Amino acid sequence: MAEVPHHPGGAGAGAESLGAFALDTAVVLVWLGLAVAYLLAGRAAALRGRTDWPPRRTVAWLTGCGLGLAAGAGPLARAAESSFTAHTAVHLLLGMLVPLLLVLGAPGTLVLRAVPAATGRRLTRLAGSAALRPAVHPVVAALIVTVPMALLYWDAGALALLHHPVIGPLLHIHFVVAGALFAHAVVGVDPNPHRAAVWVRGGAIAGSIAVHAVVAKHLYATAGTGAWPDGAEQAAQLMYYGGDAVHVLLLGVFCAQVYREAGRRLRRTAPSGSPVRPV
């Protein structure tokens, strides 16, 4: 006969359930709020006569919000509390895929289209300020993404932080923000006065791929030893191959942007009246 699972009772269990419900509610409100705010900005831009917004950007943003919601609340989030493999899936979504999709949604450009010109100029000056230059440099952004990940997954000592009622959600926020900062630095489509050279951005992508692979291989090699939870080997495989899948998407976006930039430079430098092979 199957054993009936035991659910602890009492005030402690009730407070824990209430805290989980509050956290789920906050996650739902945040992601739905981001989706609605984006749609409202698009509507405001349309009312100002700017109706040529590419649908693919809206699809990217809304897909990112939907995946963020799925990773932060619901069955996958509940499974991540007891399954290291499910936690790895959440990490891949919140730290890699969701930020890339949000960046490809070009929210900064949409806001500039939705606000009055004077407000847009102030926002543009803020984006071009020297104070923001270090944060949007690809190397700095890559370090912000990879160093905490390496420290978190190098051994099992820090895994308890993932289930802390305060630090755990803050780590999820870090995953999204750091991932979005890195994606903006290397493949961002929003205005970026501090955009680095192609070789710097490409090098940052290559470095982040290498660090991600090393951490995943280290996790696979040490699974079953120390205090690693059950399923660490499967989690390492998901981290390695799932990370590769997102990196392929990131590299595809990067190469497409470099290809288009090269075509624009070719058209600008071609002598007047001379034929230019399409790029």
What is the extent of the structural domain holding 140? 26-266
* Residue 270 confidence (pLDDT): 58
- Which residues make Cβ contacts (< 8 Å) with residue 190, sequence separation at least 6? 103, 106, 107, 108, 109, 184
* Residue 145 confidence (pLDDT): 94
**Residue 271: band (very low, low, confident or very high) from pLDDT cuts 50, 70, 90:** low
Entry pTM: 0.87
The angle formed by the CA atoms of residues 110, 112 and 114, to the nearest 5 degrees, is 70
The residue among 131, 104, 269 whose CA lies nearest residue 189 is 104
- Secondary structure percentages of the chain, helix, strand, coil, to 5: 75, 0, 25
What is the b/e burial string over 93-112, where b = at least 16 CB atoms within 10 angstroms of the residue's CB?
bbbbbbbbbbbbbbbbbbbb
Do the domain assignments include residue 54?
A: yes
Distance between CA atoms of residues 84 and 230, nearest Å = 7
Do the domain assignments include residue 6?
A: no
Q: Across residues 61-73, what is the average pLDDT?
A: 94
**Residue 213: band (very low, low, confident or very high) from pLDDT cuts 50, 70, 90:** very high
Select the more confidently predicted residue: 107 or 231.
107
* pLDDT for 186 beyond 80: yes
* pLDDT for 262 beyond 90: no
Do the domain assignments include residue 168?
A: yes
Biggest CA-to-CA distance, the chain: 85
Give 143-209 as a DSSP string: HHHHHHHHHHHSSGGGGGGGG-TTHHHHHHHHHHHHHHHHHHHHH--S--TTPPPHHHHHHHHHHHH
Indicate the number of domains in the chain: 1
Do the domain assignments include residue 2?
A: no
**Residue 227: band (very low, low, confident or very high) from pLDDT cuts 50, 70, 90:** confident
Do the domain assignments include residue 118?
A: yes
* Residue 9 confidence (pLDDT): 46
Do the domain assignments include residue 8?
A: no
Do the domain assignments include residue 204?
A: yes
* pLDDT for 151 beyond 50: yes
* pLDDT for 163 beyond 80: no
pLDDT digits 0-9 by tens, 27-55: 999 999 999 999 999 999 999 888 889 99
For 279, the 3-state DSSP assignment is coil
| Three-state helix/strand/coil letters over 102-144 | HHHCCHHHHHHHHCCHHHHHHHHHHHCCHHHCCCCCHHHHHHH
Q: Does residue 75 contact residue 89 with C-beta atoms inside 8 Å?
A: no
Distance between CA atoms of residues 217 and 211, nearest Å = 10
Q: Across residues 5-33, what is the average pLDDT?
A: 71
**Residue 82: band (very low, low, confident or very high) from pLDDT cuts 50, 70, 90:** confident
For 226, the 3-state DSSP assignment is coil
Do the domain assignments include residue 30?
A: yes
* Residue 4 confidence (pLDDT): 34
